[in-house]
């Protein structure tokens, strides 16, 4: 454990916690401007969170402690993941104990907790949203594991920090077939996992078409604020992980001096990725629900090919 | 035009109705009436096209035992009209296969019939008239999704009960009728000119359609002849209404598949159309353009501007249908078969998308629109067909407006009020192809010229039952898209 690592991990949590609503704001603003609308401004998600936090906490009749607990678990896992993954530093003190599998499991734990919270309401929408989210999760998790596994094979470690460091030392690996295939597969699952088009439409008001939003329909006030905040953090972390797996330049190692630079570089990277994702969404429509598994199965195939390529084509 | 009105006894009714239906008529309207002496009377209006025919059957009922033989086995819409009559007037359809409440709200007290003269003000919620449970679909894995009556969007109340296995819809029951406004009763006792604002507000997006149907009915009853120029101005307003509503729908259909940029673009075109409406009639939703006996135009739309909009819309439609995901979402989604469309008696673009060639602009013309009028039809009956029909009707409407605007001058043309009151009780019918489909109004005037009874039939009344039929076998996440492709009116349905 180095002081730079500890400070870096703390900086990561702060950056993700404070910056993720801004990322959502930037993405909405990009989309609004590209559609010819004025948009609400990048601070709107923070204003929404402030509004929600001032409301009283309320739970529907008949729900148990699970309903109130789920947003806490979701936000907690997102914060832990933010501390672990190589966002600004590869030397996080938790890095050794939390590798690729732990990160994937933590993300899944948050999703499952929220799905249980949705089921706890015993409403049709909670159940419907939970069942759809589980379908997506079941198809997404293996792909995340496989595609990152393709990258870890050449390093000989599932430690995310080690994978990123090795890419820093051998930048030509980014253009290898394994890496490119894994990038495409991971991009698809990041979109699915964060509930963006064409898998889910984050801006719809049509309750029957929702996946993620249907699950959290009964949440209100501070609980909803937690869910929204955690969703924004997951989006940020996944985009950040994606950026650093394939373009790790600028990340700080054990050096304290590099840390501010790394924070700025990371912010730029994630803002660019988020902006590109939002811009791409403008030209996309939502897939028919039954086509979503086809898309995710396709990404899984790419991930498998990436693993095969990492063994045979290096 | 061949117009007949025949008094028949209840016993003769089914035979006469069957003969009319067999000769190509459709039941356009059925309405109960309470005469000043307290007796009850039911009027059935049958209409047919080429040659244009209108036939009324009038049945007088025993007020102490108001029973009429049901026509539900002859015509599906007749069965719905009968349920409506039962709920509003207490007229019992004998041998009705599904004698449940329709208009009646669950909490209306038993035996209270709001359209009867002695109904009085709305009573407190009372002893409801019998349970009306939803049909339960049973089997492994079947569950229910109740949606509404209060929805997330800015729409009127309606309860939808989906019986679902996985994501597939086994059965959908739509239960509407949450906001009975007593609109038809509000017309009673008013002079026609005073009742026009009511007619314009039957359904907010169909101001011209309903106002025009009402005016035509009143003119028919009083024998007022409207000048051909005024009729052409009315036809023009009707097309402007069709234009802005169809453009809104095209945008909304794109939005419902998550392609919001096209919705924004269609919204831009819609706004330009609304401003054109405001310049034409002084109201963005075209209120005030149609008046009894004629029409008022502040300005005549510029064909060049419309041509520019037509090009814009054509390009946007091309972009929507050129998008593979959008096309995939539309194609084959919730098809309504021609047989189902015919049996249910659906109207408007829903009917034409399923291959049913009905259009009151041609079948019951207000003014001769040939040769600019084209009536597109499709055979597939899916969401794509309903999208394409709208796109083609927009092109046809712009051609019509261009044609109608030629040589038209703004100003008021009206022959109202008539020189003399009718002198005796008179009735009249107005038939208009509103943007949703055929609107029919039937009015009865007292001897001094006030309205005794107005019956309004919005095409939504015919089209709502088609929605669950089309949705059988569809998946739950497609429901909002399919619902939007029908875009039925709650307000016009629940008067």
Closest by CA position to A84, among listed A169, A12, A7, A182: A12
pLDDT, residue A152, reads 86
Per residue of chain B (495 residues), give pLDDT as tens: 889 999 999 999 999 999 999 999 999 999 999 998 889 999 999 999 988 999 999 999 988 889 999 999 999 999 999 999 999 999 999 999 988 889 988 888 888 899 998 888 888 887 777 778 888 888 898 988 888 788 877 788 999 999 999 889 999 999 889 888 999 999 999 999 999 999 999 999 999 999 999 999 999 999 899 999 999 999 999 999 999 999 999 999 999 998 989 999 999 999 999 999 999 999 999 999 999 999 999 999 998 999 999 999 999 999 999 999 999 999 999 999 999 999 999 999 999 999 999 999 999 999 988 888 999 999 999 999 999 999 999 999 999 999 999 889 998 888 888 877 777 889 999 999 999 999 999 999 998 889 999 999 999 999 999 999 999 889 999 999 999 999 999 999 998
CB B458 within 8 A of CB B181: no
CB A226 within 8 A of CB A74: yes
Alpha helices (H) along B345-409: 348-353, 360-363, 383-405
What is the rounded distance in angstroms from the CA atom of residue A212 to the CA atom of residue A126? 10
Mutate one of B255, B261, B270 to test the A interface: name it (highest A CB count within 10 A).
B261
Closest by CA position to B69, among listed B9, B6, B5: B9
B479: which 2 tokens?
């429901």
User: From the CA of B292, how many Å to the nearest CA of chain A?
Assistant: 41
End-to-end CA distance of chain A: 33
Please tell me which residue, A311 or B316, carries the higher pLDDT value. B316
pLDDT, residue A294, reads 92
pLDDT, residue A314, reads 56
For residue A128, which residues of chain B lie inside 8 Å, CB to CB? 145, 476
Any CB–CB contact under 8 A between A118 and chain B? no
Q: To 10 degrees, what angle do helices A100-120 and A65-84 make?
A: 160
Phi, psi angles (nearest 5°) of residue B237? -60, -40
What is the rounded distance in angstroms from the CA atom of residue B29 to the CA atom of residue B26? 9
User: Cβ of B379: how many Cβ atoms within 10 Å?
Assistant: 12
Of B323, B325, B477, nearest to A209 by CB-CB distance is B477
Any CB–CB contact under 8 A between B479 and chain A? yes
Contacts of A204 (CB under 8 A, 6+ apart): A210, A213, B258
Question: Which chain B residues in 341-360 lie under 8 Å from chain A, judged by CB atoms?
Answer: none
pLDDT, residue A151, reads 86
What is the rounded distance in angstroms from the CA atom of residue B31 to the CA atom of residue B44? 7
Any CB–CB contact under 8 A between B256 and chain A? yes
Any CB–CB contact under 8 A between B179 and chain A? no
pLDDT, residue B407, reads 87
pLDDT, residue A95, reads 66
- Note whether B86 and B193 are same-domain residues: no
Closest by CA position to B394, among listed B421, B378, B376: B376
**pLDDT tier at A2, thresholds 50, 70, 90:** confident
**B270 assigned to some structural domain:** yes
Any CB–CB contact under 8 A between B134 and chain A? no
CB B196 within 8 A of CB B291: yes
Check B329 against A288: CB less than 8 A apart: yes
Nearest CA in chain B to A279: B261
CA dihedral of residues B109, B110, B115, B120 (deg, nearest 10): -50
Check A289 against B477: CB less than 8 A apart: yes
Any CB–CB contact under 8 A between B19 and chain A? no
Domain that holds residue B63: 2-94
Closest by CA position to B250, among listed B325, B304, B314: B314
CATH at B189:
1.10.645.10
What is the rounded distance in angstroms from the CA atom of residue A59 to the CA atom of residue A120? 11
DSSP secondary structure letter of residue A181: H
Any CB–CB contact under 8 A between B257 and chain A? yes
Pairing between β-strand B67-69 and β-strand B53-61 as defined by DSSP bridges: unpaired
Q: What is residue A255's three-state secondary structure?
A: coil
Contacts of A115 (CB under 8 A, 6+ apart): A129, A130, A133, A134, A137, A215
For residue A36, which residues of chain B lie inside 8 Å, CB to CB? 264-265, 268
For residue B328, which residues of chain A lie inside 8 Å, CB to CB? 287-288, 291
Q: For B344-362, give one letter per residue: b (16+ CB within 10 A) or e.
A: bbbbbbbbbbbbbebbbbb
B353: which 2 tokens?
């998308």
Instruction: Tell me the HSE value of B413 on the side-chain side, using a 13 A CA sphere.
Output: 16
Question: Which helix (DSSP H) or strand (DSSP E) does residue B427 occupy?
Answer: strand B426-433
Any CB–CB contact under 8 A between A288 and chain B? yes
Check B257 against A125: CB less than 8 A apart: no
Please provide the size of chain A in residues: 314
A87: which 2 tokens?
């966002």
Number of structural domains, chain B? 2
Of B146, B258, B326, nearest to A124 by CB-CB distance is B146
Alpha carbon separation from A96 to A146, A156, A162, B166 (Å, rounded): 20, 14, 10, 42
Check A36 against B325: CB less than 8 A apart: no
The dihedral built from the CA positions of residue B266, B268, B273 and B277, taken in this order, carries a sign that is positive
- Note whether B90 and B210 are same-domain residues: no
pLDDT, residue B380, reads 94
For residue B143, which residues of chain A lie inside 8 Å, CB to CB? 124, 127
Which residue among B94, B110, B135 closes a domain?
B94
pLDDT, mean over chain A: 89
For residue A204, which residues of chain B lie inside 8 Å, CB to CB? 258
Any CB–CB contact under 8 A between A282 and chain B? yes
Contacts of B193 (CB under 8 A, 6+ apart): B291, B292, B416, B417
Q: To 10 degrees, what angle do helices A100-120 and A160-169 make?
A: 130
**B371 assigned to some structural domain:** yes
User: From the CA of A293, how many Å to the nearest CA of chain B?
Assistant: 14
For residue B475, which residues of chain A lie inside 8 Å, CB to CB? 288-290
- The β-bridge partners of B45 are B29, B56
Q: For B178-210, give one letter per residue: b (16+ CB within 10 A) or e.
A: bebeebbbebbeeebeebbebbbbbbebbbbbb
Per-residue model confidence as pLDDT tens digits over A93-113: 776 777 888 888 999 999 999
Alpha carbon separation from B256 to A284, B128, B327 (Å, rounded): 12, 38, 13
- Note whether B418 and B283 are same-domain residues: yes
**pLDDT tier at A1, thresholds 50, 70, 90:** low
Closest by CA position to A182, among listed A154, A236, A143, A235: A143
Q: What is residue B338's three-state secondary structure?
A: helix
Residue B417, preceding bond cis, omega within 30 degrees?
yes
Of B265, B328, B479, nearest to A208 by CB-CB distance is B479
CB B229 within 8 A of CB B199: no
* pLDDT at position A168 over 80: yes
Closest by CA position to B68, among listed B78, B59, B76, B79: B59
Mean pLDDT of A26-32: 95
CATH at B27:
3.30.460.80
**B408 assigned to some structural domain:** yes
pLDDT, residue A160, reads 86
Check A209 against B480: CB less than 8 A apart: yes
CB B21 within 8 A of CB B74: yes
Mutate one of A32, A208, A213 to test the B interface: name it (highest B CB count within 10 A).
A208
**B81 assigned to some structural domain:** yes
User: From the CA of A46, how many Å to the nearest CA of chain B?
Assistant: 23
Specify the long-range contacts of residues B264-270, CB closer than 8 Å, at least 24 apart: B264/A35, B264/A36, B264/A37, B265/A36, B265/B316, B266/B313, B266/B316, B268/A36, B269/B309, B269/B312, B269/B313, B269/B316, B270/B244
A and B: number of Cβ contacts within 8 A: 75
Any CB–CB contact under 8 A between A122 and chain B? no
B461: which 2 tokens?
């009344």
**B465 assigned to some structural domain:** no
What is the rounded distance in angstroms from the CA atom of residue B333 to the CA atom of residue A153? 45
Please provide the size of chain B in residues: 495
Contacts of B102 (CB under 8 A, 6+ apart): B80, B83, B84, B86, B87, B177
pLDDT, residue B238, reads 96
For residue A34, which residues of chain B lie inside 8 Å, CB to CB? 261
**B467 assigned to some structural domain:** no
Question: Which helix (DSSP H) or strand (DSSP E) does residue B152 occupy?
Answer: none
Check A208 against B477: CB less than 8 A apart: yes
Check B325 against A35: CB less than 8 A apart: no
Any CB–CB contact under 8 A between B382 and chain A? no
Nearest CA in chain B to A33: B261
**B199 assigned to some structural domain:** yes
**B427 assigned to some structural domain:** yes
pLDDT, residue B1, reads 80
Check A285 against B477: CB less than 8 A apart: no
pLDDT, residue A199, reads 86
Instruction: Tell me the HSE value of A225 on the side-chain side, using a 13 A CA sphere.
Output: 17
- Note whether B78 and B227 are same-domain residues: no
Q: What is residue A155's three-state secondary structure?
A: coil
Check B480 against A206: CB less than 8 A apart: yes
3-state percent breakdown (helix, strand, coil) of chain B, nearest 5: 40, 20, 40
Per-residue model confidence as pLDDT tens digits over A64-93: 899 999 999 999 999 999 998 888 888 777
Question: Which chain A residues in 27-46 lie under 8 Å from chain B, judged by CB atoms?
Answer: 31, 34-37
């Amino acid at each position: 454990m180095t002081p730079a690592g500890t400070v870096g991990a703390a900086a990561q949590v702060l950056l993700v916690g404070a910056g993720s609503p801004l990322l959502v704001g930037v993405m909405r603003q990009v989309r609004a401007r590209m559609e010819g609308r004025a948009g609400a401004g990048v601070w709107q998600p923070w204003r929404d969170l402030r509004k929600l936090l001032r409301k009283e906490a309320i739970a529907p009749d008949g729900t148990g402690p699970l309903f109130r607990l789920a947003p806490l678990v979701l936000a907690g896992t997102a914060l832990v993941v933010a501390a672990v993954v190589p966002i600004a530093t590869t030397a996080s003190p938790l890095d050794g104990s939390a590798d690729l599998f732990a990160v994937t499991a933590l993300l899944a734990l948050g999703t499952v907790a929220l799905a249980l919270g949705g089921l706890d309401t015993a409403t049709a929408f909670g159940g419907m949203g939970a069942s759809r989210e589980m379908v997506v999760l079941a198809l997404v998790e293996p792909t995340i594991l496989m595609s990152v596994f393709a990258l870890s094979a050449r390093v000989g470690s599932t430690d995310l920090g080690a994978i990123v460091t090795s890419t820093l030392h051998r930048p030509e690996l980014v253009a290898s077939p394994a890496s490119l295939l894994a990038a495409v597969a991971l991009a698809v699952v990041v979109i699915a996992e964060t509930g963006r088009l064409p898998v889910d439409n984050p801006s719809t008001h049509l309750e029957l078409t929702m996946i993620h939003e249907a699950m959290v329909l009964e949440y209100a006030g501070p609980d909803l604020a937690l869910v929204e905040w955690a969703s924004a953090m997951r989006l940020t972390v996944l985009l950040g992980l994606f950026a650093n797996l394939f373009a790790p330049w600028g990340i700080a190692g054990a050096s304290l001096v590099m840390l501010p630079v790394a924070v700025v570089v990371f912010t730029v990277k994630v803002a660019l990725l988020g902006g590109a994702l939002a811009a791409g969404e403008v030209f996309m429509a939502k897939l028919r629900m039954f086509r979503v598994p086809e898309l995710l199965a396709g990404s899984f195939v790419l991930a498998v090919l990436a693993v095969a390529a990492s063994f045979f084509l290096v | 035009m061949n117009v007949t009105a025949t008094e028949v006894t209840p016993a003769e009714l089914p035979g006469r109705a069957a003969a009319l239906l067999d000769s190509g008529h459709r039941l356009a309207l059925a309405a109960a009436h309470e005469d000043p002496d307290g007796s009850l009377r039911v009027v059935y209006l049958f209409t047919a096209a080429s040659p244009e025919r209108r036939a009324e059957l009038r049945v007088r009922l025993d007020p102490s035992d108001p029973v009429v033989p049901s026509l539900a086995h002859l015509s599906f819409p007749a069965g719905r009209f009968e349920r409506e009559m039962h709920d509003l007037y207490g007229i019992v359809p004998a041998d009705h296969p599904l004698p449940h409440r329709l208009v009646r709200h669950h909490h209306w007290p038993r035996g209270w019939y709001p359209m009867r003269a002695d109904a009085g003000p709305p009573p407190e919620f009372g002893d409801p008239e019998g349970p009306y449970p939803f049909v339960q679909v049973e089997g492994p894995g079947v569950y229910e999704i109740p949606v509404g009556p209060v929805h997330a969007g800015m729409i009127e109340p309606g309860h939808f009960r989906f019986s679902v296995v996985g994501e597939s819809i086994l059965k959908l029951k739509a239960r509407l009728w949450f906001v009975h406004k007593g609109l038809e009763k509000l017309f009673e006792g008013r002079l026609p000119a005073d009742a026009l604002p009511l007619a314009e507000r039957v359904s907010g997006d169909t101001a011209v359609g309903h106002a025009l149907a009402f005016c035509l009915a009143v003119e028919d009853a009083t024998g007022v002849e409207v000048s051909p120029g005024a009729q052409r101005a009315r036809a023009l307003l009707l097309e402007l209404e069709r234009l802005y509503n169809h453009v809104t729908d095209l945008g909304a259909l794109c939005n419902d598949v998550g392609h919001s940029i096209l919705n924004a673009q269609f919204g831009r075109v819609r706004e330009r159309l609304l401003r054109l409406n405001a310049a034409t009639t002084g109201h963005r939703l075209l209120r005030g353009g149609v008046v009894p006996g004629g029409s008022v135009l502040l300005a005549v739309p510029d064909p060049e501007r419309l041509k520019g909009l037509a090009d814009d819309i054509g390009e946007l439609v091309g972009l929507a249908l050129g998008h593979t995901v959008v096309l995939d979402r539309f194609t084959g989604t919730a098809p309504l078969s021609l047989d189902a469309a015919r049996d249910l008696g659906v109207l408007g673009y829903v009917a034409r998308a399923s291959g049913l060639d009905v259009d009151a602009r041609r079948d019951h013309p207000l003014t001769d629109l040939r040769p600019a009028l084209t009536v597109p039809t499709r055979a597939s009956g899916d969401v794509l067909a309903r999208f394409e029909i709208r796109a083609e009707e927009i092109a046809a409407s712009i051609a019509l407006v261009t044609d109608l605007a030629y040589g038209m001058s703004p100003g008021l043309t009206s022959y109202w009020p008539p020189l003399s009151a009718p002198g005796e009780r008179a009735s009249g019918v107005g038939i208009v192809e509103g943007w949703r489909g055929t609107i029919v109004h039937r009015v009865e005037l007292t001897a001094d010229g006030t309205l005794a009874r107005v019956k309004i039939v919005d095409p939504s009344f015919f089209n709502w039952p088609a929605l669950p039929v089309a949705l059988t076998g569809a998946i739950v996440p497609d429901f909002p898209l399919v619902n939007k492709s029908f875009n039925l009116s709650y307000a016009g349905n629940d008067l």
